Amino acid sequence: MQRSLRIRSRALTTAYGTGIRDSELKVLNADLEELPEQVPRTAVESLVEARLDRHDHSRTYTFVLNGEERSFTYEESDAGMWFDTPVFGNTLRYRAEDGAIYADVSVQVSLVSIH
């Protein structure tokens, strides 16, 4: 079955240069019926294991996905406020590549640190 893809996005910029970007993905089959969407943030939260290790003057966030582990260490002074639990999906971007749709989902561990 051949599938068709339609991506619809909206952008709204508010006054004083503050921007809000809102994306919505719609995937249609060849009969123009909408395929059910999996919410990327929910998928990431269910697939990624996150752990926080606190040290005297630093903290390390470790993320595990499919057995692959990545750690990020920060000095306590790098941010005024840290999250004990990482926040996924404050920034979400869709992209199409080689016939597949990918959602790039951010992870945030403080008010100033977004990856």
CA distances 38 to 12, 27, 90, Å, are 24, 11, 16
Task: Give the phi and the psi of residue 66 in degrees, each rounded to 5.
Answer: 50, 40
Quick check: pTM over 0.85? no
pLDDT in tens, 77-86: 998 899 989 9
| pLDDT (0 to 100) of residue 10 | 40
Does the pLDDT of residue 4 top 50, yes or no?
no
